[in-house]
Structures are given as C-alpha cells and as structure tokens.
Amino acid sequence: MTVYPLQVEPTRVLPELPVMLPGTLAVDESGAIRGVARLTVVAKGDGLASGSHTTLLPPELYLRQLLDFDVASDDALLDFMGNFGLLGSGSLDGKSSGAYETPVSTMRSARERAAVLRDTSRTLLANEGMLEPDELFALWESRGGNPLASVIFQNDPLEVAVKLATGVVTNALAPFGPRVSTPGSSKHEVFGIPLESAVCAQMFNHIAEGAAYRRCALPSCSRAFVRQVGRAVKGQFKLEGVEYCSPQCARAAASKRYRDRKRDERLRTASERDSE
C-alpha cells in the first residue's frame, strides 16, 4: 500500500520527550509574538532547581489536534500553541529562559510551520494510500499553498512531497540525536524540546513501527488514526479490532445505531397498522 517505502535510522522508536509550554502569549500589530516562559522551581537533591512548564503531547497529535484547528485563524493558532508549544522562528527551545524582550516567534512563521507540519502529516497519509494525491495537493497549505510547482515537471509530485516530508521530519529530530551532558537530568527533560521535534518524533515512531493507518468508521468523523485513544489512562490505547478513532466516536455510532433501530421499529409498526 505504501507508495514510497520509508526507512528509518536508527531502527527503533524514540523516547517521548516533553515539550516546553509558553506562558502568556501576546501578539502586537506587526504579528510579533512575545511570551514569558512558565518557569517552575522544584526541589531537587539538596537544593532547588528551576525547570520550565512542560507537557507530553497527546497520542497521535499529528493526526488529530494538529489537523483539527483552523490554521487561518489567529485565535486557533495561538490556542494550539498555548496548549502544545510554540512554532516558528526563535521558538522557546531551552537555550534561553526567563522573561523575553525579543519576540519568540511571529504569527507569520508560526503559521508557516504549522502548515509545513500539516502538509507533512497529510503527505505521510497519502503515501500510505489514506489520501488521494490530488486531495493532498488541494489541501496543501505551506509555501503559499503552491508547493511543488518548481519541481513538478521532473517527478511524481507525490514523490516530491514525500521527500519534503522526510526532510522536515529528519531536521526536526535533532534533539533526539547524539549529545553530551553532565549527570542528572538532561536539558531536554527539564526544559523540553520544540513542539515541531515532538510532533515529528510521533511521525518517526509510526514509520519505525510500520504502523497501519485506518479510518474512523463514524461517517461524520472519518479521521485517519492508528490507535483508538483510550478514555481512562493517559496514553492508553486500543489497537485490535478498533473501528473508531475515539470512545466518543464509538459512542456516537452506537447511539446512531440505536436511533436507526427505533425509527425502523416505528416505521414497521406504522405500516403494519396501515395494512390492517
């Protein structure tokens, strides 16, 4: 089913690392985003250590929350970054922390990086046969929505998109590469990694494990997903025999089946009455 088989190095899944969350975000008229890192002070050994406010991404964010919001809306983009981390140039990356005088990003570059990640996500789906290439290009958002014009003549446009996607994922995985640190907690565990890196690690891990995508059987959802997100424990998921992307969709489908059955019963009763 895969059009261009992808290989990974190293051939193992990457650890989940937390993403640094921004504190309050403010945007000025020029679109510059200023924010203050949310720092927390924690007791560690004999003393106090400061760390930033970090979070692990929800499972399959790159198939779910990343594709769900309206990238054209400033509010939706800021909301997404407030929940999951900054995107764009100069994002909080742990190199510096504290109060920011200089912009941490701009709306323009945040929107472009969100678009790049969404295009990358959809490209992986198209490469797995979950999305028609025509649909992928119709939905294309980065590079002004006209990505492949310069190279489209030489190659299969899907091949170009897949190569772009592999470049995006590879570049973003730098925090998972070799590093040297002193004993104790590593910088990445304390300060987190950029959102883009964590999103691309989710993509990498699905490629590394040869994950099989499926579509949610609820017609009004039909989201592509790998595992049904569980409702009880964070990060818990079901893999086998799952038709729906979430318990919510499974419940919606069950109640629709119930309503349909009731309606059929009513119709049958009515027609029996009429025929008497």
Q: Where on the chain is the footprint of Zn ion (CB under 5 A)?
A: 216, 218, 221, 223, 245, 249
Distance CA 261, CA 255 (A): 10
Q: How far is the CB of 261 from Zn ion (least distance, A)?
A: 21
Q: Which is nearer to Zn ion, 13 or 252 (CB)?
A: 252
Whether residue 247 is preceded by a cis peptide bond, meaning omega within 30 degrees of 0, is no
Query: Which residue number, 161 or 218, has a Cβ lying nearer to Zn ion?
Result: 218
Residue with smaller CB distance to Zn ion, 111 or 206: 206
- Which CB atom, from 171 or from 236, has the smaller least distance to Zn ion? 236
Residue that the structure tokens 């998921």 belong to: 237
Q: Give ∠ CA 79-201-53 in degrees, rounded to 5.
A: 45
State the pairing for strand pair 39-44/47-52: antiparallel
CB of 247 to Zn ion, least distance (A): 10
Shorter beta-carbon distance to Zn ion: residue 174 or 239: 239
CB of 256 to Zn ion, least distance (A): 13
Question: Phi and psi of 198, rounded to 5°?
Answer: -70, -40
Pairing of strands 214-215, 105-106: unpaired
User: To the nearest whole angstrom, how small is the minimum distance from the Cβ of residue 253 to Zn ion?
Assistant: 9
Closest separation between CB of residue 255 and Zn ion, Å? 14
40: helix, strand or coil: strand
